[in-house]
Amino acid sequence: EYAELALSARLKEAAPQLQAMRKGLEEMLPGGLVELLEGAELERLAAGSAAVDVELLRQHTVCRGEDGHQHVVDALWRVLGSMSQEDLAAFLRFVWGRSRLPRPSEFTETFKIHISSSLAQDNKLPKADTCFFTLNLPAYSSEEVLRARLLYAIRHCTDMDADLLEAAIPHAAR
């Protein structure tokens, strides 16, 4: 009897949390529809598609910066268009702190690209402001340099709080 009661308690211990999740899902989907969906469909509805649609991102983008840098923006779109889905997800994490785009009907944010205008930018990495969905992109001299710097940044700069880590390191140790 003890074993049965213990098993029953363990099986029911997460019931309040599961009920809260169900209530949240039913706010997104009419009641009863949740049971008709497969896991992948529910994931897509709740979290968006895992496939990053570069054209959808482009439709929700504004570019700011000095005139004469359209070639840098065009090169960025070519680079993004040639990236793997894994790198595109890393790019989104870098610029937005999330790895998926929302569904087109729920895409309300605007991706902002700022091109810096100073000279000799090839040695600098791009910078992102995830809270503002903004990419600060140096005016690179070529698409190849842009690709190399962007890939380095998205693959190695994965911690949104890295600026706090630098502040914690004593100046003498840097």
- Residue 169 CB contacts under 8 Å (≥ 6 apart), including other chains: none
pTM: 0.74
Whether the pLDDT of residue 93 is over 60: the answer is yes
- Name the strand (E) or helix (H) holding 114: strand 111-115
Q: Decide the pairing of beta strands 111-115 and 134-137.
A: parallel
Whether the pLDDT of residue 114 is over 90: the answer is yes
The overall average pLDDT reported for the chain is 86
**What's the pLDDT tens digit per position in 53-85?**
999 999 999 998 767 788 899 999 999 999 999
Active site residue 63: no
* Active-site pick, 3, 131, 165, 168: 131
Residue 174 pLDDT grade (very low, low, confident, very high; cuts 50, 70, 90): very low
Q: Which of 126, 108, 131 is nearest to 65 (CA)?
A: 126
What residues pair up with 62 in beta bridges, in sequence order? 112
Whether the pLDDT of residue 168 is over 70: the answer is no
**pLDDT, position 47:** 78
| Residues 10-22, mean pLDDT to the nearest whole number | 90
Q: Which residue has the tokens 């989104």?
A: 92
What residues pair up with 127 in beta bridges, in sequence order? 136
**pLDDT, position 169:** 52
Pick from 56-70, 86-100, 116-130 the range whose average pLDDT is largest.
Answer: 86-100
